[in-house]
Amino acid sequence: MRLLLYKYSAMIGILAVAAICVQSAAAAPGEKDVPPPTAIPLRFERSVDAEKARPGDPVIAKTLQVIPLPNGVTLPRGSILTGRVVEARAFQFDSAPYARQTPSILSIHFDRIQNGDLALNVNLSLRAIADPILSREAATPHYIEEVDARGTMQLIGGDEFDPFNEPILAADGSIIAYNRKHGVFAHLIAAKNSQLDPSISCLGTDSEQSVAIFSPRACGVYGFSGIYLSSTGQDGSGAFILASTHHSVKLYAGSTALLQVVK
């Protein structure tokens, strides 16, 4: 009987310690959050069509290159981002004279990045997005002249560089990024979105970020016909919105984007 009481008391003690540990873990949720202003370049693995998608549908993407975090952790290329469709609305043409067309919209929110057993929470705003054609071109050297044996890389959003040189120079000769062993890294440059809503802007950073195939000044939508960025998620919502007054928004597999962590 005494042995049973001893085992029972020991079990209660273990449960109490476990409860304290759980409370301690819950008290520090920020330890599993990717901090701002971390930039994450990614490629969408599946197409998302506003005409067919429903709220809650999964969205999957993978990182284009390594992501260094402030705490010394490095997320490798191919880390998986998971998110969901927040809202999707197909385009419906209004034939009434002088009618103002209601835009098709596609809103997406990413909330997790994972590599193996490591899973971190993210809350991201969209800085730039490009269609599959531009994305492929930016990842491939362009041989501009016959004597150009090494090729030239053309980043999305402007800027070119020699793939065999480390510094990436702007037109005025200033260094704006570095081409290193694990990809292209840069301080992000503040820029304005030149799309339909000029009030949308992209913030700069004082720290070096992973940009991959994007220029550090990239801001807005590239290559998608008739699609504009209605909201970036920079307000803290973490949900970006693509819109079109010409057709239903479709985000094709192979499209790429540069996102940035917000609070």
The whole-number average pLDDT for the span 156-166 is 92
pLDDT tens-digit profile of 196-221?
556 688 999 999 999 999 999 999 99
The model's confidence at residue 116, banded by pLDDT at 50, 70 and 90, is very high
| pLDDT for 17 beyond 50 | no
Burial class (CB in 10 A: 0-12, 13-18, 19+), 23: exposed
The whole-number average pLDDT for the span 144-159 is 79
Averaged pLDDT score across all residues of the chain: 86
- Alpha carbons within 13 angstroms on the beta-carbon side of residue 234 total 19
Distance CA 176, CA 164 (A): 16
Is residue 258 within 8 A of residue 41, CB to CB? The reply is yes
E strands along 188-245, which residues? 191-192, 201-202, 208-210, 220-222, 228-231, 239-244
| Domain extent listing, the chain | 1-32, 34-261
The whole-number average pLDDT for the span 171-194 is 92
The model's confidence at residue 42, banded by pLDDT at 50, 70 and 90, is very high
The model's confidence at residue 236, banded by pLDDT at 50, 70 and 90, is very high
Q: Contacts for 68-74 with beta carbons within 8 Å, 24 or more apart?
A: 68/210, 69/34, 69/35, 69/38, 70/35, 70/38, 70/207, 73/118
What was the pLDDT predicted at 141? 87
Torsion sign, CA atoms 201, 207, 209, 213: positive
Q: Which two tokens stand for residue 146?
A: 């016959």
pLDDT tens-digit profile of 69-100?
988 889 999 999 999 999 999 999 888 877 78
What was the pLDDT predicted at 169? 95
Q: For residue 167, is the peptide bond before it cis, meaning its omega torsion is within 30 degrees of 0?
A: no
Distance CA 16, CA 30 (A): 24
What was the pLDDT predicted at 31? 60
Query: Can you give the C-alpha Rg of the chain in angstroms?
Result: 23
In 3-state terms the chain splits into helix, strand, coil percentages (rounded to 5) of 15, 40, 50
**Would you mind telling me the total number of residues written for the chain in this entry?**
263
Residue with tokens 């304005």: 192
What was the pLDDT predicted at 82? 98
Distance CA 38, CA 208 (A): 9
The model's confidence at residue 101, banded by pLDDT at 50, 70 and 90, is confident
Cα separation values, 6 from 9, 12, 19, 20, 159, Å: 5, 10, 20, 21, 72
| pLDDT for 12 beyond 50 | no
